[in-house]
Amino acid sequence: MRTRSAAYILVVTGLVVLGACRRQSATGAAGSEPVIVTNPTARVTPVATLTEARASHVAVTMADTRVLIVGGFQKGPDGGDEVYSATTEVFDPRTNHVSPGPTMRQARAGHIAVALPGGAVLVAGGWGATGVQRTAELLDPTTHTWRDVGVLTTARADATASVLRDGRVVIIGGGDDTGTHATIDVFTPVWSEVEGRSATRGGAWTSGGSLRAGRSGHTATVADDGTIFIVGGYTRAGELVASIERYDPAAQSSTVVGALTQPRYKHATQMLDSGDLLVIGGSDTRDWKGKLRSTEIFEVATGTTWPGANLIDARFKLASAVVALGHDRFAVVGGAATVEVLMTNASERVASLPAAMQFGTATRVGARDVIVVGGYDESIRASADVLRISLDPPGNQGL
């Protein structure tokens, strides 16, 4: 077990960008210039160090509030080839300690990993030493070991995974060396009684139909009715996908329900209290040079998209590093060396980070803390840092 006491605490006066949030058509003009005012602060504390630096990993919150950190990659000793990880680590937010977790059967990054009812964790796909993977593994919560649980219908990395209320997992899109996929895989868990409670002991993979457009670098967000909204992304040919689709797992069909004003990929999407979608940052076809500050709100009832508040800092590669705080407030951690609290009509810069974090993870713990793990900087150097961000409680933002 490796831990590190807090070496420093960053306390940074925040900035709030207040601007109009106007409903406009896709070609509507931008809103008025924002007004910048000072605001309260957040606290960033380094609390632990991973045994391995990693990015493009997944952080899974377990039933006991610990966070399982799964896989990822870092650059090799020559600074060129990527070294994929089969290791897992467990962060305990109650003690700020990191300890080794069970090693997966296969190294992978850009994979999916989700917690299932009963404490099991499903992992599938991703990039590995032999290319894009089809394999899937299940972490047994009673034996604390990984075991094979079938294969995907096709190899895929950079896909999305959505857990439905009945425990099924819907894996959408992604791609391999041949191109991007429109296909959908569904994992149906098999339950059994273990020590008086239901647990996932295995499962079966089936085809779940297809999207209207293949895509990678997209987002998938589950609505209250169990349908899934798929937003943006790109094709392996480098073309951005502007469409928004709504996938119905019961019918195994997907319908185009809208389009982004600004096509984007490597963005984040969060659901608002209204059931509408907030699409955050990302990039255009220029990748690092095309990072976006803009956000968009997709209104489900009308199928229209209109501008939200601009971020203060342009950012991308942040899909796993935005955390819902409640009351339509979101901690935006990834893609830049700052932390913002984003609302539909304003964004507040609340702290600075030691470096910009791309393809890292952010996980909410408790009412006001966010745990930030890994990611890589602009030189693709992966980090082993575990940071704890303490945010001001809701209602103290001075808005």
On whether the CB atoms of residues 96 and 1 are closer than 8 A, the answer is: no
Residue 76 is predicted with a pLDDT of 82
CA-based torsion, 20, 344, 349, 327: positive or negative: positive
Q: What single-letter DSSP state applies at residue 178? A: T
Domains of the chain: 10-55+267-394 (2.40.128), 104-259 (2.120.10.80)
Specify whether the CB–CB gap between 169 and 161 falls below 8 A.
Answer: yes
pTM: 0.89
C-alpha of 13 from chain center: 27
Reported residue count of the chain is 399
Count of alpha carbons within 13 angstroms of residue 216, beta-carbon side: 22
- Kind of pairing, strands 183-194 and 179-180? unpaired
Specify the pLDDT at position 193.
Answer: 66
H helices of 186-256, where?
Answer: none
Tokens of 180: 């991007």
Kindly give the residue spans of alpha helices, DSSP state H, lying in 86-141.
Answer: none
How many other CB atoms are found less than 10 A from the CB of residue 176? 20
Cα–Cα distance, 297 to 201 (Å, whole number): 40
| CA gap 4, 23 in Å, rounded | 48
pLDDT at 196: 57
Distance of CA 60 to CAs 66, 133, 156, 163, 330, Å?
A: 8, 20, 20, 13, 19
DSSP state, 288?
Answer: G
What does pLDDT average to in each consecutive run of 10 residues of the chain (399 residues)? 32 37 36 37 93 98 95 86 96 98 98 93 96 96 93 97 96 95 96 65 93 97 98 92 98 98 98 98 96 98 97 98 96 96 94 94 94 96 97 53
Tell me, what's the pLDDT at 33? 36
Task: Return d(Cα 154, Cα 135) in angstroms, integer.
Answer: 9
